[in-house]
Copies of this chain bind each other. A is one copy, B any other.
């Protein structure tokens, strides 16, 4: 079947005709469809039985352009294949921590998967101060399982190289290279390179200052180079709090079911990148709670929660990694001194990447609702300036970090729990 964009009229016929759908839905029942896409790159629908709404599937179709920018920003729909392959590998190593993949239709660029009807994306509940028990631990474990499983510690080198060449996700890598590591640090066009920065005009002086900070720019170039050359494992590539879902309505002390979604940026990159993205988002949330929390006490409590999640993430990551290291058969990786050096390097990388991820959300093209959602521009600027400062500190200190508490200390210096 040739590619065509599905719509509310055609999607049910598509599902009924797809042979694998009968495993998940009764194709002869009355089916309903609901469009739920809010992503940048895809159309997303839920198709369910009218009589039994819990019997449903989620379908995601790749668009040939970046939705946020309209058809003026064309994108190869190959990324639907990258997402399918990434879901398959993530499911192999961390099943239960992503939506279960059902099928991939290479002609129609449709990924069908488990529909998480009781889950919601974390970002907005986090703006409202909701605490998800076990969040950091789950993400740390997810990262460790997928990253170890697809690394040279677990895979045969030829198998890894073959996978790596399947994941030549150049187009989406270029988005990261440009929007995270290049454009935020430029205040004027350069040899025809378009600069798509957007920022709150109130922080313009901070932004300009940052764009002239040559020490910072050298460190960011080094991080970009590592992103482009360190092919360590299959990274998610966009692991922010908008790429994580949790089941709502769980009792407050119960760990909710947490899932990582949307791996279309996946490729073989540096192991610290996903951890850095997640921790950057915790710190952006911390900055935004200067505005979102109604009281000093509420803010203190939420920041404590966020920093605990960051700690738990690193703790769970290292615990899982060490467990898997202990089971390796390769004589090279059994050295405990090597393992400690390796984890220290991941920690340094994650710190630098976290800083770059924070800065791009304030100065670059794509922002986060945590900060964009603060209506008062002065309040917003206050939060943004703090986040920018922390981002810079993380980058400037990253190569000297020796333990995770050093990262938390940097956050506490600028976004403390109990004062301001």
Show the binding face of A for B, using Cβ within 8 Å. 152, 157-158, 161-162, 164-165, 168, 170-171, 173-174, 177, 181-182, 185-186, 190-191, 193, 214-215, 217-218, 220-222, 224-225, 228-232, 329, 331-333, 335-338, 341-342
Asked if A342 and B222 make an inter-chain contact with CB atoms under 8 angstroms apart, the answer reads: yes
Residue pair B165, A168 in contact (C-beta under 8 Å):
yes
C-alpha gap A332/B214 in the complex (Å): 11
CB distance B182 to A331 under 8 Å?
yes
Question: Please, which residue of chain B has its CB at the minimum distance from the CB of A169?
Answer: B161
Q: How far is the CB of A119 from chain B (nearest CB, A)?
A: 34
Q: Are A229 and B231 in contact (CB under 8 A)?
A: yes
Sample 11 A-B pairs with CB under 8 A, ordered by A number: A152-B225, A162-B168, A181-B332, A217-B335, A218-B337, A218-B338, A222-B342, A224-B332, A225-B332, A229-B230, A230-B231
Beyond the given A152-B225, A161-B168, A222-B342, please list 20 additional residue pairs across the A-B interface where CB-CB is below 8 A. Answer: A152-B228, A157-B170, A157-B173, A157-B174, A162-B168, A181-B332, A182-B332, A185-B331, A190-B331, A214-B335, A217-B337, A218-B337, A218-B341, A221-B338, A222-B341, A225-B332, A225-B342, A229-B232, A230-B231, A231-B231
Of A170, A171, A177, most B-chain CB atoms within 10 Å: A170
**Chain B neighbourhood of A215, CB < 8 A:** 337
Contacts of A181 in B (CB 8 A): 332
Where chain A touches its partner, the secondary structure class is: helix
Q: Closest CB of chain B to A48's CB: distance in Å?
A: 40
Q: What is the chain B residue whose CB lies nearest that of A267?
A: B161
Q: How far is the CB of A2 from chain B (nearest CB, A)?
A: 26
A217–B191 Cα distance when bound, in Å, is: 47
Q: Which residue of B lies closest to A270 (CB)?
A: B229
Copies of the chain in the assembly: 2
- CB-based contact B191/A174 at 8 Å: no
List residues of chain B with CB within 8 A of the CB of A224: 332
Contacts of A338 in B (CB 8 A): 217-218, 221-222, 225
**A160 and B228 alpha carbons, distance in the complex (Å):** 10
* Complex contacts, A165 vs chain B, CB 8 Å: 164-165, 168
Q: Check B337 against A228 for contact (C-beta < 8 Å).
A: no
In the bound complex, residues from chain B placing their C-beta under 8 Å from that of A157 are 170, 173-174, 177, 228
In the complex, chain B residues whose CB is within 8 Å of the CB of A190? 331
- Nearest residue (CB) in B for A188 is B331
Chain B neighbourhood of A222, CB < 8 A: 338, 341-342
Min CB–CB distance A414 → chain B (angstroms):
24
A186 / chain B contacts, CB cutoff of 8 Å: 331
Closest Cβ–Cβ distance, residue A79 to chain B (whole Å): 14
Indicate which residue in B164, B329, B333 contacts A221 across the interface (CB closer than 8 Å): B333
Complex: A342 Cα to B221 Cα, angstroms = 10
Of the candidates B162, B164, B173, B214, the one whose C-beta lies within 8 Å of that of A337 is: B214
CA distance A218 to B331 in the complex (A): 11
Bound together, the chains give a CA A273 to CA B342 distance in angstroms of: 20
Specify which chain B residues have a CB less than 8 angstroms from the CB of A177 in the assembled complex. 157
Which of A168, A177, A182, A335 has the most chain B CB atoms inside 10 A of its CB?
Answer: A335
CB contact under 8 A between A335 and B218, given known A157-B174, A165-B165, A229-B232: yes
